[in-house]
Amino acid sequence: MPADEQPIPSVWARPRKEREQPVLSRGHIVAEAVRLLDEEGLDALSMRRLGSRLGAGATSLYRHVANKDELFELAVDEVYGELPLPEIGDPADWRAAVTKIAHELRATILRHPWVATKLGEAGLAYLGPNVLRRSEYLLGLFEGAGFPLKEADRAENAVTAYVLGVSTTEAAWLSMVARSGQSPQEWAERLWPAAERAVQDFPRLRARYAEQRASALADENDDAFDYGLQRILDGLESRLRTLP
């Protein structure tokens, strides 16, 4: 088959066959896949394992999803569907609205840490309706604020890249902590003595570590995330003032 006739390996590019059974639907399969991923992580997901949880054979699942890669695409989009997208109000409030959606995206990723791993390799998962809905929403916020569409797209990409970068690191850490059987705070307390010894010869790091140890871990992470986000929005706001 010529290269230009090869099918694109994505669930979003494949025509959907309407053969869903009332008991086992694609939506049911994807929802259970997300639950399995949340509970046991990426390595636990297989069509056989998922079929067992659903009380169905793997063959039944293949009527709705061609393979595990498609299942991951659908699961990523399912998680994006959790993002609240309130009606866009006063364009002047664009900064507060972008801040809210950025925090919501981070919170969503941290509720589903496995998503962070898949986002870097999701490919055409970005054609999923929930992913596209979020992108369209942010484009609307930036365009309403006064950015031309091309710059609105770049602003949206800059904010999203920041959120995904920070959240991916946080999610990887949460996954590691979960495997230890400890809470994040317990794990951090066990690490502090080694961390403090490591920075003894670095006075600025030593001072920062001392400050961080006195703070609640979640609060410190929230503050650090918001600081970076606000600096990005400072730059976009400054750019907005220079547009013709």
Condensed to tens digits (0 to 9), the pLDDT of residues 62-74 reads 889 888 888 998 9
Decide if pLDDT at 21 tops 70.
no
Other beta carbons less than 10 A from residue 203's beta carbon = 9
| CB neighbour list of residue 121: distance below 8 Å, 6 or more residues apart | none
Are 95 and 146 in contact by the 8 Å Cβ rule? The answer is no
pLDDT at residue 171 above 60? yes
**What average pLDDT score do residues 78-89 get?**
91
The 8-class DSSP code of residue 125 comes to G
Q: Give the H or E element holding residue 176.
A: helix 149-180
pLDDT score of 20: 44
Say what the pLDDT of residue 4 is. Answer: 64
Measure CA 188 to chain center. 24
Residue 205 in this model has a pLDDT that exceeds 70: yes
Portion of the chain with pLDDT greater than 90, in percent: 50
Rounded to an integer, what distance in angstroms lies between the CA atom of residue 101 and that of residue 80? 12
> For 148-152, 218-222, 227-231, which range has the lowest pLDDT when averaged over its residues?
218-222
For the domain 91-181+214-242, what is the CATH superfamily, name and number? Answer: Tetracycline Repressor, domain 2 (1.10.357.10)
pLDDT of residue 120: 66
Model-level pTM?
0.83
CATH of the domain spanning 3-80: 1.10.10.60
Going by C-alpha positions, the residue among 101, 143, 88, 110 that lies closest to residue 229 is 101
Residues of the chain above pLDDT 70, percent = 91
Question: Taking the domains of the chain in order of start, what are their residue ranges?
Answer: 3-80, 91-181+214-242
Identity of the residue numbered 56: A
pLDDT at 8: 75
Tell me if 3-80 shares its fold with 91-181+214-242.
no
pLDDT confidence of residue 3: 61
List all residues 6 or more positions away from 42 whose beta carbon is below 8 Å from its beta carbon: 114, 117, 118
Q: CA 59 to CA 174: how far, in whole Å?
A: 34
Q: What is the pLDDT of residue 5?
A: 67
